[in-house]
Amino acid sequence: MSAKTYIPQGEQSAPSQIGATLEALASSIAERHRAADAGSYTYRLLSGGVDEVLKKVMEEAGEVALAAKDAQAAASAVRAHEGAASVPDRMKGALADSADAACDHLRYEAADVVYHLLVVLERFGIGLDEFAAELNSRMTESERPRGGALIMPDHVKRGK
Ligand SMILES: N=c1c2ncn([C@@H]3O[C@H](COP(=O)(O)OP(=O)(O)OP(=O)(O)O)[C@@H](O)[C@H]3O)c2ncn1[C@@H]1O[C@H](COP(=O)(O)O)[C@@H](O)[C@H]1O
């Protein structure tokens, strides 16, 4: 567990944090689809023209790239000053804070991409299990999680 995360009091840590989270998010997205709730941003992306959600995926991916560049620059500034005796500790602390904030921003933008990507997958009826099988199919036998599904040979790398 990252030092930046915590489990709410009285709850047990889920066996896989990301697995549980992606399942819950995909299920909320599917639920908004079924409920056809006009007040839901997710439903609007699912039911409107496909370009709206596709534009969001591209925009958020661009924001990830910009946030990663900022994080890189902030990390470089920390490295450039860390050994310098002439740089006051206060300034080194401010640079470290700035690098930490840049990583927080990168994580935030990455979550925006994943959410919008899951909306696209829901629109085209690609479930999380099938998506997992795509990732598993790229792994070596020793990397693949035990029991992890694979894509049927007829469906591997089609549609290019
Ligand atoms: N995980 C998300 C989620 N991530 C991002 N977004 C929305 O995506 C939009 C992103 O818009 P912007 O580009 O303006 O991004 P921003 O985050 O405001 O700022 P920048 O990225 O520009 O810095 C915002 O409206 C966010 O609220 C999300 N909207 C909904 N969900 C989840 O989807 C489920 C259903 O939500 P509703 O449709 O709101 O009921 C719930 O579980 C929500 O938690």
Domains and CATH numbers, the chain: 21-30+39-123 (1.10.287)
Locate 149 and state its tokens: 């599904």
- pLDDT value of residue 1: 82
Taking the CA of residue 60 as centre, how many other CA atoms within 13 Å lie in the half-sphere pointing to its CB? Answer: 17
- pLDDT value of residue 63: 98
Distance of alpha carbon 49 from alpha carbon 148, whole angstroms = 34
Is any atom of ligand 1 closer than 6 Å to the C-beta of 118? no
Q: Note whether 98 and 81 are within 8 A (CB).
A: no
- pLDDT value of residue 10: 97
- pLDDT value of residue 87: 84
Please give the distance, rounded to the nearest whole angstrom, from the Cα atom of residue 112 to the centre of ligand 1. 7
Is any atom of ligand 1 closer than 6 Å to the C-beta of 137? no
Q: Note whether 79 and 121 are within 8 A (CB).
A: no
Please give the distance, rounded to the nearest whole angstrom, from the Cα atom of residue 3 to the centre of ligand 1. 25
The whole-number average pLDDT for the span 3-31 is 95
- pLDDT value of residue 126: 97
pLDDT in tens, 108-134: 999 999 999 999 999 999 999 999 999
Give helix 17-35 / helix 128-136 axis angle, nearest 10°. 140
- pLDDT value of residue 84: 83
What atom in ligand 1 is closest to the CA of residue 31? Answer: 35
Please give the distance, rounded to the nearest whole angstrom, from the Cα atom of residue 78 to the centre of ligand 1. 32
pLDDT in tens, 47-103: 999 999 999 999 999 999 999 999 999 999 999 898 888 888 899 999 999 999 999
Q: Which long-range contacts (CB under 8 A, 24 or more apart) does 50-55 make?
A: 50/123, 53/116, 53/119, 53/120, 53/123, 54/120
Q: What does the chain come to in residues?
A: 160
